[in-house]
Structures are given as structure tokens and as C-alpha cells.
Chains A and B, each alone.
Chain A
Amino acid sequence: EPEVTQTPSHQVTQMGQEVILRCVPISNHLYFYWYRQILGQKVEFLVSFYNNEISEKSEIFDDQFSVERPDGSNFTLKIRSTKLEDSAMYFCASSNRGSYNSPLHFGNGTRLTVT
């Protein structure tokens, strides 16, 4: 069964550095998402992306965050200047239609540690 893949599985960075988290969604999917999960807490929506543009974003997704689909297969999340509180698991997800009409398929996440 096709799956969403994320790299790296663990990223350690120093406060103030830029990080790029990478995702390869399922190939025929059209909607892409980033969620994050602070250790032991719930999964929080960051952003959804469709037709090469952001369709929704949460309050968490401030100017430090950006997303890009640089080619036909990758979907990236960039954090420009990381803060300690950005430490979390970041999950990429994709669906072939919007959230109501088809389930989200999640990757196994990237654990980001900001020191």
C-alpha cells in the first residue's frame, strides 16, 4: 500500500537555525498537510496546501513557517529561525480529496529537537 514518507526521522538543530522537513506524499493525492505534536500532547493542525497554494493555516503557522512543493513529488516545511518551543514531532499527511471526502494518510513524522 502506498505511504507517506518523511525525512529525516530525527533532526537536531540549534535555536535560530533554519530547518527544512521533507515529505513525499502519496503520488495521486492532491491535498497536503502539516501537523505537529508536542510530546505527550494532541496533534495540532499547521497548514493545508492544495493546487500549489496554502488553503488554510492555523495561528501556529506564523511568518517563521513556510511550505513548498518544489517538484511533483516533494512537499516541504521550512522553519526560518527555530525556537525552543518548536521542538515537536512534525507529521506530513496527504489525501486525494479534501478532509471531508477522504481520510488523511500520515507519515511517521520527523522529531525536531531545538537546543
Chain B
Amino acid sequence: GENVEQHPSTLSVQEGDSAVIKCTYSDSASNYFPWYKQELGKGPQLIIDIRSNVGEKKDQRIAVTLNKTAKHFSLHITETQPEDSAVYFCAPWGVNAGNMLTFGGGTRLMVKP
């Protein structure tokens, strides 16, 4: 199965600063790369995703970049706000996984006002 690692496990930034979370995966057949945000007491919610034919995707303050050669992709949040505080999970997917998503261990982001 897919081995997925996220770094860092916790990240504390000052409001307005940028945050970057990296996800490393093992299956070279992976070709779909989503990021989920989990707020306290809620289920994970998709915030951005990218497919392997694209190197970068941006949606307002969040972006995802993909390096297929190195088998990692990253979540970038600019101009962080307190409401960005949450746990973020990557969940790379490839055809070998069927309908099963393997989540990374999560990154707890704390944005200090």
C-alpha cells in the first residue's frame, strides 16, 4: 500500500505569514493529490486538489505544487488567518488504491493573531 508522510506534524505561524506543508508518498503510480482540512469537531473537508498532469494549482490564498519525480506535493497557504488553524491531511491516490484513500499523519497548523 501507499506510504504517506507529512511534515511538519505541527506548525505555528503568525497571522499574515505563509505556511507550507509537505507530503511525501511512495507509490509512483499516484496521480491524484488532494488536501483536506479538518476543523475541531468536524470531518475532513477537501480544500484543493491537483492531478498529475499539472504542476501547480492555486485557489485564492491556497496553492498546491507537485513534484512527481521526487514524489512529493506541498500545500501553500499565504496571508494566513486565525480561521486557517486546523489539521491538514494529504491523501495521494493512484489506480492501485482502488477507492481507498490513504491519509497522511496530519499537520496541525496554528495561526497566532
Contact = CB atoms under 8 A, between A and B. Distances in A.
A50 B99 contact: yes
A28 to B, nearest CB: 17
A93 B38 CA distance: 14
Nearest to B48: A103
Interface in A27-52: 31, 33, 35, 41-45, 48, 50
A44 B104 CA distance: 9
Given A100-B32, A100-B93, A103-B34, A43 B44 contact: yes
Interface string B78-100: 00000000000100010101111
B102 A45 contact: yes
Contacts, number: 63
B45 interface: yes
B46 interface: yes
A56 B100 contact: yes
A45 B43 contact: no
B98 A103 contact: no
Contacts of B32: 99-100
* Interface-centre pick from B43, B45, B49 (highest chain A CB count, 10 A): B43
A100 B102 contact: no
B65 to A, nearest CB: 19
B42 A99 contact: no
B41 interface: yes
B34 to A, nearest CB: 6
Nearest to B98: A56
A33 B43 contact: no
Interface of A: 4, 31, 33, 35, 41-45, 48, 50, 55-56, 58, 91, 93, 98-100, 103-109
12 contacts: A4-B43, A43-B38, A91-B44, A93-B43, A99-B32, A99-B97, A99-B99, A100-B93, A103-B49, A104-B101, A106-B44, A108-B43
Interface of B: 31-32, 34, 36, 38, 41-46, 49, 89, 93, 95, 97-106
4 smallest beta-carbon distances between A and B, as pairs:
A106-B43, A48-B99, A103-B46, A43-B103
